[in-house]
Amino acid sequence: MLSQVLRPQVSAARLGMKISTFYNHISRAILPPTIKFGPRAVGHPSHEIDAIISARIAGKSESEIKALVVSLTAARQNA
């Protein structure tokens, strides 16, 4: 799966939230943790952010979104 890397500011904007809320959601496991792409670069694959947006549009509960985050994070290990 080819995916663009989204930096935190871009991911937060796509999700419609401030950067502080974005990091709060990561700490609460409502968003997957960032991936380190370089010595000073972190981001998310765009497909992960798209999956979270789709889950929210579908009206998924917070616990369902947390389960999605677990599966997205596990999929990184299998890539």
pTM score: 0.90
Decide if 50 contacts 9 (C-beta within 8 A).
no
Reported as a single tens digit per residue, the pLDDT across 4-49 is: 999 999 999 999 999 999 999 999 999 999 999 899 999 999 999 9
Total number of domains constituting the chain: 1
Q: What is the pLDDT of residue 1?
A: 55
Q: What is the CATH number of the domain that holds 25?
A: 1.10.1660
Reported as a single tens digit per residue, the pLDDT across 45-72 is: 999 999 999 999 999 999 999 999 999 9
Decide if 16 contacts 49 (C-beta within 8 A).
no
- For residue 31, the 8-state DSSP code is S
Strands (E), the chain: 5-6, 35-38, 41-45
Look up the domain containing 36 and give its range.
Answer: 5-78
